[in-house]
Amino acid sequence: MTNSILLFLALPFGIACCSAFGYFYSKREYNESPVFPGQLRSLSGIIACNKPLFGFLLHCLGGMLLLAQLSLLSNTDNDKGSVFILAMLYISLSGLINFDIFDHSPLHFFSLFGFLVFSLSFVALRSSTMIALVMSRIYYSITGIFGVAILYNKWLVFRGQNDDLPVVSNPKPYMTTQAILEVAWALCFVACMFSISAQI
């Protein structure tokens, strides 16, 4: 019963998050990367446009989904491990929101790495129903592609900062591709959490 109530409360926050991101992505003054003109901002860049709004919505959505998970856990050793992972997920989410990608880039990417690791661990540990297992396979795939895109773009940025290389060999990073993959990754994770929490 508690789980159902928490999921019901999480739903409007999920809709509000999607609406807020959709609004900011629809406005040219917000959706274009300030570092790479003509390319889309990442979700982290959009969050930086209005940190109080996105901080409130994402903390509420994340909190409701994680509490819904906690309400399903018992006192077994396996579930104690899940509690630890959930706590680390929320801490990582908070770090992603509070450590601005522009002002605190190392801490932001450290939080992102933590979120990736703990989210993969939790999804692997708690996916048991058919839909949850299918969603988890999709999530693994998107996470892998997203991770490769981040590393490849970081490598391109590094090459672009190397003055010894000719300009022609320094292509711009594919930030639009990375932003689209990040949106797909975030949506897939939320879908996984809903399916695991609802036990469908």
* pLDDT tens column, 56-70: 999 998 888 888 888
Does residue 16 have a pLDDT over 90?
Answer: yes
Per-residue pLDDT, averaged over 107-112, amounts to 90
Residue 77 pLDDT grade (very low, low, confident, very high; cuts 50, 70, 90) = low
Does residue 75 have a pLDDT over 60?
Answer: no
Per-residue confidence (pLDDT) for residue 168, from 0 to 100? 45
Per-residue confidence (pLDDT) for residue 162, from 0 to 100? 55
* Alpha-carbon span 55 to 44, nearest angstrom: 11
Does residue 20 have a pLDDT over 90?
Answer: yes
* pLDDT tens column, 78-104: 677 788 888 899 999 999 888 887 788
Mean pLDDT, the chain, rounded, equals 84
CA neighbor of 20 nearest in space, from 32, 31, 33: 31
Domain boundaries of the chain, sorted by first residue: 2-198
pTM passes above 0.95: no
